[in-house]
Chain A
Amino acid sequence: MFRRSFKVAKSSISVSRRSLHEVPVLKNQDSFLQNGIEGLYSPKGFKSSWVDYQKYLTLNLTLQTNGTENELRTPYQILLQTAKQTTEQHTFHFASQAHNNHFCFEQLANKTEAQKTKPSRFLLERLADQDFANIESFRDHFLLVADSSFGQGWVFLVELPDKSVKIVKCGNDGTPYYYGKNQSLDLNGGIDEGSFEYLNNLKHLASKQERDFSLPLLGINCWDAAFINDYGVTGKADYLSNFWDCINWDVVNKRLFQV
């Protein structure tokens, strides 16, 4: 026991070397680069939405964080660290985007392989608690939220501390981990009473320093960068439905268990 703890301490020392933020390597990256993701991306499309876009995010993250306390942190840690800082929102953007993009790409597989996987019984039960009788009705609702929102963003299925699940729409670079930065509203048009009350509620929670324990299980990328290469500017709907077909449920199921 003593020895193990000693080893951990040693390895954490080598981690704390100063270094750059880099694009993580996906499980099937080589085959994806060569053949694309079957049923979703061409090789070129995959390269632009994962390799290039993630490179863009991590390079910018490096530029924003080098020489600061965030230098050695992972994008996930940086986004939590900067979520409440008003002057660090550009850093937050790159961290949150890098994390979300990685999160979404992790759950993708070639269509034929993805079709072999299924959402677990536990996940289906949780969904049934939210009145989604089967996975199809959940799919339609989930994709509707993604498709019907204007502008860039993400849609997540998150698990709350009481083990119930809910769909969270994150506008722009919003994050599912902290309610103050969910960015679920669009205040660019008229503001209705519901949004106003929602905002007040958030402020109330924040003033009590309420913490957020929700964790995402499933995410979908609605940014133009994710589909513009293969589907064009207007191809969001097709992209979303293809995305659904390429979800590797094994990954999603595992996220539910890990929590």
Chain B
Amino acid sequence: MYRLISKVKPRLLFLSSQLGSFRSVSYTLPTIPLLDNLKISKDEFKGLYSNNAVNELWFKRGEQLVEGLNQLLEENNINPPSDLNELITLTFNKPDLYGIYSYASLIHNLQFSLESLKPNESEAGKYAIKKSEPSDLLKTPSISQTFNNEPTDPNLREWIVNSFGSIAEFRTLLLNSAKGVKGDGLVWLVAQATYSESTLRNNQFSSNANGFKYSTLSIMNTYNAGIVDDSIRSGQITKLKQQKQAKIASLKKKIQERKHITKDQENNEETERASEEDALAALEGEASFPSDLTLGTVEEAEAATLYSDRKLLPLLAIDASSRNYLLDYGVFGKQQYLDNVWDCIDWDVVSKRAPIRFKQSFEMD
């Protein structure tokens, strides 16, 4: 819950105090020339969205998100940076600014995914938008190895093939990941840095911040307003856990110290030393777990491997949320929508976003 005033018109008289404060920066909906043109010409996004859908998904929803963001910034009296990405990074680790973060991130994700697309001008694109039927759920997927809109840039192509095996495997993984998302979410193609940030920080591998080297491509999902960058988002739970443990430890110390004081008044020094040793032993006992012969928990393993704090650079995003296909394709249309999205991916944009590939002479993993 980040909002205290409902947008649903209240039945009772509701006196919401209007904040008339002045703010130096307020965000506006970014412009995507292609979509603006479609709005003017009242054309459809060929091969993917009807004109109505474009209007709903980008202009109306985008406007609503921007409005919500500005309103929250005003309520919280925050003077935001002019760059949306900066705002996301700044607010991510502040749970009390959850609303601002979410709005900002949703706008960013929406823009990023729509900018990865281009209209499908081919003959097939003309008939691509159609309502799906219940029987389409039983449709057998195509097993062909070649597709219409394959990446053309030889470098990107080679990188994809090396990372995923083949274009067909890549496409299957990408679209299956998107299809698996049940609620709101996106699937991303990301370039993964070779070394984790902590390694970079500790070693003097490359002193400048832009010295990331990207060696592999991967696919990942984010849900709701999630962001891609593992280097920012990972390890939150671990951090909280450590904080809690530190708290408990300090609390125990305090109790022990209090005991010391009371004992100090009554007993001689010898017992004091003994109790001090006891306390230490107790703390140590907690800290040094016999780790050589215990496997630990799955949770620990997941925390250690699932979120590496490697820098991830997004190259492509596909919005898998249901609103994208409900309007034009109906409730049965997710597969058709995703197939169409593939045909509309703008590979030029993707290869422009791609960093220089770092080829390892040997595997570091």
Contacts and interface: CB of A to CB of B under 8 A. Distances in A.
The answer on A and B forming one complex is yes
Interface of A: 48, 52-53, 55-56, 59-60, 63, 90, 93, 136-137, 139-140, 143-145, 147-153, 171-173, 186, 188-196, 223-225, 228-229, 232-234, 237, 240-241
Interface stretch (B167-175, B203-211, B320-328): B320-328
Interface string B297-331: 00000000000000000000000011100110011
Contact of A190 (B98, B106, B323): B98
B107 to A, nearest CB: 12
9 contacts: A145-B1, A147-B7, A150-B102, A152-B322, A188-B224, A188-B226, A189-B224, A194-B95, A232-B56
A196 B182 contact: no
Nearest to B334: A56
A228 B60 CA distance: 13
B137 A144 contact: no
A143 B5 CA distance: 10
A233 B327 CA distance: 9
Contacts of A148: 1-3, 6
Given A188-B222, A190-B98, 17 more contacts: A48-B330, A52-B134, A52-B330, A52-B332, A145-B1, A148-B6, A150-B184, A152-B184, A172-B182, A186-B98, A189-B225, A191-B236, A192-B96, A196-B237, A228-B327, A233-B60, A237-B9
Contacts of A189: 92, 95, 98, 101-102, 105, 224-226
Contacts of A191: 95, 236-237, 240
A164 B98 CA distance: 30
Contacts of B183: 151-153, 171-173
A90 B105 CA distance: 27
A234 to B, nearest CB: 5
A190 B95 contact: yes
Interface in B1-54: 1-12, 14
B8 A241 contact: yes
Contact of B12 (A137, A147, A188, A195): A137
A204 to B, nearest CB: 13
A17 B98 CA distance: 50
Contact of B60 (A137, A144, A225, A232): A232
A56 B334 CA distance: 11
B262 to A, nearest CB: 32
B161 interface: no
A152 B224 CA distance: 8
A228 B182 contact: no
A228 B323 contact: yes
Given A172-B183, A190-B95, A140 B331 contact: no
A151 B64 CA distance: 14
B57 interface: yes
A196 B240 contact: yes
A102 to B, nearest CB: 15
Contact of A136 (B11, B57, B326): B11
A224 B323 contact: yes
Nearest to B244: A196
Contacts of B11: 136, 139-140
A242 B224 CA distance: 25
Interface in B221-279: 222-226, 236-237, 240-241, 243-244
Contact of B6 (A63, A144, A152, A190): A144
A129 to B, nearest CB: 21
Nearest to A171: B183
Given A140-B10, A140-B12, A186-B224, A225 B331 contact: yes
